[in-house]
A = this chain, B = another copy of it.
Amino acid sequence: MRFFSDNAAAVHPQVWEALKAADAPDAAYDGDALSARLDAAFSDTFGVECAALWVATGTAANSLALAALCPPHGGVLCHREAHIEVDEGGAPGFYTHGAKLMLVDGDGAKVTPEALAAAIDPIRDDVHQVQPHALSLTQATEYGRVYSPAEIAGLAQFARGRGLGLHVDGARFANAVARLGCAALDACRGAAALSFGCVKNGGMNAEALVLFDPALADLVKYRRKRAGHLQSKGRFLAAQVLTLLDGDLWLANARAANAAAQELAGACGGRLLHPVEANEIFVALSPPEAAALRRQGFDFYDWPAPPGRPGAARLVTSWNSDPTQVTALARAIRGL
């Protein structure tokens, strides 16, 4: 019973069907009929004209976005625990040719205009200091927190006021929108670029980079090729992304994962380290408690113990979390 990571989840049956259907001759690279539908599909989903490119990984999507928004000599504001800072092996530094990530603190890996201002304001406006050019948010955050439309609006306004391009890392954007119940656009309004996650949400190996400033798309297409991310059989990536958008399968999948997370959250009570708003549960567990759960067959990652707690763990649900297993885990946690 695996609660390790949504990366381990299976490929959705409709995605499999779409992959098989895509196995017919078509133009190579992104010249095929499926890839040609991406812009329209995302424009429909977001209700505004946008351009979209498939890529294989969220790291590639994030890095291509940042490189489009920040020059090599600039800086990108992000949370100290943002995935781009902590878990992408320095990819932003590679793609941006050495731009600096400027780290900001905040509960639950969320940033606020106040925290951003405090980080920026002391920077002298001269060539000796790296100047900020972009802001990257994660929606939902690395701790499963969700920015409300109002919070997004406030951050977008801040970014605009400071001349910062706004990027949203949406590896779990579906979970955020499912939680908010808002229009997709309201969960990222003001962003120039959104990394739209699919792999954790029923896909096999395709993510989408959505560009709300379509002028960026031309630039990014050259950079995608230059990064070795223009696959020759791109129809197989487009097929995955289109399937998830079709009939809002992406939201249905995310709702399932979120519901499973809520069931676990309800069992955790005072153990919760962060409010559960998406599909990740961070929970205080002593080593003996963690061992007890594992003996019952539940697998998950340990997490660094927060101050005053003897230990912690991360539980992740996914679109196909088995309800029986979820209920069993909830019961086991209650029984600790």
Measured CB to CB, the residues of A under 8 A from B are 2, 4-5, 7-11, 16, 19-20, 23-29, 55-63, 71-75, 86-91, 93-101, 122, 127-131, 199-200, 204-205, 219, 221-233, 236-237, 304
A-B contacts, 30 of them at CB < 8 A, read A2-B25, A4-B27, A7-B233, A8-B25, A16-B23, A29-B128, A55-B228, A56-B231, A57-B228, A57-B229, A62-B228, A63-B228, A72-B93, A73-B89, A73-B223, A73-B226, A86-B129, A87-B128, A88-B128, A88-B226, A90-B99, A90-B130, A90-B226, A100-B101, A127-B226, A127-B230, A199-B232, A199-B233, A204-B236, A205-B205
In the bound complex, how far is the Cα of B205 from the Cα of A236, in angstroms? 8
Chain B residue numbers with a CB within 8 Å of A75 are 90
In whole Å, how far is A12's beta carbon from the nearest beta carbon of chain B? 10
> Do B28 and A10 touch (CB < 8 A)?
no
- Between A4, A25, A87, A229, the greatest number of chain B beta carbons within 10 A of the residue's beta carbon is seen for A25
A16 to chain B, nearest CB (A): 7
Q: Complex: how many Å from CA A61 to CA B86?
A: 25
B225–A128 CB distance below 8 A? yes
Residues from chain B with Cβ under 8 Å of A222 in the complex: 71, 73, 89, 127, 131
| B56 engages A28 (CB within 8 Å) | no
The complex is assembled from copies of this chain, and their number is 4
A10 to B, closest residue via Cβ: B23
B25 and A231 within 8 A (CB): no
Q: Which residues of B contact A7 (CB under 8 A)?
A: 28-29, 232-233
- Which of these, B93, B129, B199, contacts A98 with CB under 8 Å? B93
Could you tell me the distance between the alpha carbons of A130 and B96 in the complex, rounded to whole angstroms? 16
What chain B residues lie within 8 Å of A94 (beta carbons)?
A: 72-73, 97-98, 226-227
Please report the C-alpha to C-alpha distance between residue A60 and residue B231 in the assembled complex, in whole angstroms: 10
- Contact partners of A11 in chain B: CB under 8 A: 23
Nearest first, the 6 closest Cβ-Cβ pairs linking A and B are A93-B98, A60-B228, A89-B225, A59-B228, A7-B28, A127-B225
Q: For A24, what are the chain B residues with a Cβ–Cβ distance below 8 Å?
A: 10
A175 to B97, CA, bound (A): 35
Cβ distance A69 to chain B, nearest Cβ, rounded Å: 14
B25, B97, B98, B219: the one within 8 Å of A10 (CB): B25
Residues of B within 8 A of A223 (CB): 73
State in angstroms the CA–CA spacing of A90 and B129 once bound together: 7
Q: List residues of chain B with CB within 8 A of the CB of A127.
A: 89, 221-222, 224-226, 230
